[in-house]
Amino acid sequence: MTKKIKVKTTVVEMDGDEMTRVMWQMVKDKLLFPYLDMNIDYYDLHIKHRDDTDDKVTVDAAKAIMKYGVGIKCATITPNEDRVIEYKLKKAWKSPNGTIRAMLDGTVFRKPILVNNIKPAVSSWKKPITIGRHAYGDVYSNTEFAVPSAGKLELVFTSQDGSKIIGVPVFNFPSKGIAQVNYNLEKSILSFAQACFTYALSEKIDLWFSTKDTISKIYDAGFREIFSREFELNWKEKFNKAGIEYFFTLIDDAVARIMKSEGGMLWALKNYDGDVMSDMVASANGSLAMMTSVLVSPNGWFEYEAAHGTVQKHYYKHLKGEETSSNSMALIFAWTGGLRKRGEMDGTPAVIKFADKLEEAAIATVEAGTMTGDLIALAEKKSYNKKVNTEGFIDSIAATLQKKLND
Ligand code: NAP
Ligand code: MG
């Protein structure tokens, strides 16, 4: 056994639920701990432990990410009424991701893992398209109104001290109809812009941003102006030096261009556009188990995780003693993403190299035809393709990794 690689700064680990918790432990035991000497600040976000601590453990985990800069998270249950009964919870605690995102003031970036034997549905896409979705306001916090009859609709703004009242005419309804009011905060848009510039620079990829600014001359154009001002002020030089571009275009144009591009950019989108487009990109790339996710805070804190959930159905099979074939790719990439960032922050190239090798080993395993059920269904049909179970997949990656490290 060769000497273990030292990870300089403490890594914040957040354990999770169900099938991902099972895979998480295997990934640590078989792919990480044999090779890395790392100090872990461990937070158990298992639903029962969140309940026992009145969710304080989630808050503590977020604080630890703020302290050390990098957190790596397993998938967790967001409880609903069924889960409250299933786990006998005191209440339906908030989504841990929501709590952490609010504390870190972060933006989520999702990026697919590409392998050469699974072709994206869009044939021109050669490199991963990362989606950055603004996760505040717009239609998700709108006010809707069913207009009952003919009549006049107007908006009224009253300043906090009551000194200013502004009335905005909306529409003279000739008959029954519907209405909707959206809002956003300059502060939130700016912080979204900063997270996007931070991520693009950190990954050294171009940043595209698109809104419907030609039609929405205050709202969508406001997004464009905030991005543009922030870019000119704080990022232009850094982008020039890194050889990357910031590119704004109308959303229609962006959609058309993306479909013909070879990928490889960060595409920043408003809340609704990001919701829809991230599902499109995910589906064009095949499996949810091949989608990674990172929360980037404008303060330079990073939290890595898989985009998928706890794979509940597979877990129930696992509990019954049945064989499962769950895919650990995105969980592994959460670790490699976090470790690579840790290595960059600490100035430890050996850690970065290990992260690269582990990713290469995971991709090489799939490309050699050894896959979990979700991927077998998508991959090019080859005689040597072999479906393996949850643990067998991780074992194959471990064997490939061992070979790569010996080279
Ligand atoms: P899910 O865990 O993402 O799984 C949905 C389906 O996608 C699975 O049933 C499976 O399809 C497939 N899948 C997802 N990940 C896979 C993997 N690694 N390997 C193989 N197949 C995979 O979503 P869910 O079942 O709707 O949600 C379960 C729990 O996860 C919920 O309690 C939810 O609150 C939580 N959740 C957490 C996060 C997070 O922590 N970030 C995100 C989303 C959901 P087949 O069954 O067809 O094989
Ligand atoms: Mg969606």
Per-residue pLDDT, averaged over 3-24, amounts to 97
Atom of ligand 1 nearest to the CA of 305: 41
Q: Considering only 96-105, 352-361, 378-387, which range has the smallest mean pLDDT?
A: 96-105
**H-only helix segments in 53-157:** 56-68, 81-86, 96-104
Backbone dihedral region for residue 311 (phi beyond 0: left; psi -120 to 50: alpha; all else: beta): left
The full set of domains in the chain, from first to last, is 1-109+293-407 (3.40.718.10), 119-134+184-285 (no CATH), 143-181 (no CATH)
Measured distance CA(389)–CA(274) in Å, rounded:
34
Report the share of the chain in percent with pLDDT over 90.
Answer: 88
* 353/142: higher pLDDT: 353
Residue 326: which pLDDT band, with cuts at 50, 70 and 90?
very high
Query: Which residues lie below 8 Å from residue 255, measured CB to CB, with a gap of 6+?
Result: 210, 277
Residue of minimum CA distance from atom 33 in ligand 1: 77
- For the segment 181-225, what is each residue's pLDDT rounded down to a tens digit? 999 999 999 999 999 999 999 999 999 999 999 999 999 999 999
The preferred substitution site among 22, 43, 288 for testing ligand 1, maximizing ligand atoms within 8 Å of CB, is 288
Strand bridging mode 40-44 / 11-15:
parallel
Tokens describing residue 295: 């929360």
Residue 391: which pLDDT band, with cuts at 50, 70 and 90?
very high
The preferred substitution site among 14, 72, 95, 308 for testing ligand 1, maximizing ligand atoms within 8 Å of CB, is 308
Residue 282: which pLDDT band, with cuts at 50, 70 and 90?
confident
Ligand nearest to the CA of 307: 1
**pLDDT at 400 > cutoff 90:** yes
Backbone dihedral region for residue 303 (phi beyond 0: left; psi -120 to 50: alpha; all else: beta): beta
Per-residue pLDDT, averaged over 342-354, amounts to 97
**pLDDT at 302 > cutoff 80:** yes
Please give the sequence-ordered ranges of beta strands (E in DSSP) within 135-235, or none if there are none.
143-147, 151-158, 165-173, 177-181, 207-211
How distant is the alpha carbon of residue 370 from its chain centre?
26
Ligand nearest to the CA of 276: 2
Q: How far is the CA of 312 from the centre of ligand 2 (A)?
A: 19
pLDDT at 1: 56
Ligand nearest to the CA of 24: 1
Q: How far is the CA of 282 from the centre of ligand 2 (A)?
A: 10
Q: How far is the CA of 271 from the centre of ligand 2 (A)?
A: 10
Measured distance CA(185)–CA(196) in Å, rounded:
17
**pLDDT at 404 > cutoff 90:** yes
pLDDT at 358: 98
Amino acid at 257: R
Torsion angle of C-alpha atoms 77, 78, 79, 82, degrees rounded to 10:
-70
Per-residue pLDDT, averaged over 231-252, amounts to 98
Amino acid at 49: H
User: pTM of this prediction?
Assistant: 0.90
- Spatial contact of 223 and 234, defined as CB atoms under 8 Å apart: no
- Spatial contact of 253 and 209, defined as CB atoms under 8 Å apart: no
Per-residue pLDDT, averaged over 32-49, amounts to 98
Per-residue pLDDT, averaged over 171-179, amounts to 98
Ligand nearest to the CA of 77: 1
Q: Considering only 9-18, 284-293, 306-315, which range has the smallest mean pLDDT?
A: 284-293
pLDDT at 136: 85
Whole-Å CA distances, 229 to 132, 136, 193, 253: 19, 20, 10, 22
Residues with CB under 6 A from ligand 1: 75-78, 97, 288-289, 305, 308-313, 326-327, 374
Nearest to 286 by CA among 133, 151, 114: 114
Residue of minimum CA distance from atom 36 in ligand 1: 309
Per-residue pLDDT, averaged over 263-280, amounts to 92
DSSP assignment, residue 149? Answer: S
Per-residue pLDDT, averaged over 232-251, amounts to 98
Query: Which residues lie below 8 Å from residue 322, measured CB to CB, with a gap of 6+?
Result: none
pLDDT at 256: 95
**pLDDT at 52 > cutoff 80:** yes
**pLDDT at 248 > cutoff 60:** yes
Q: How far is the CA of 277 from the centre of ligand 2 (A)?
A: 8
**pLDDT at 42 > cutoff 80:** yes
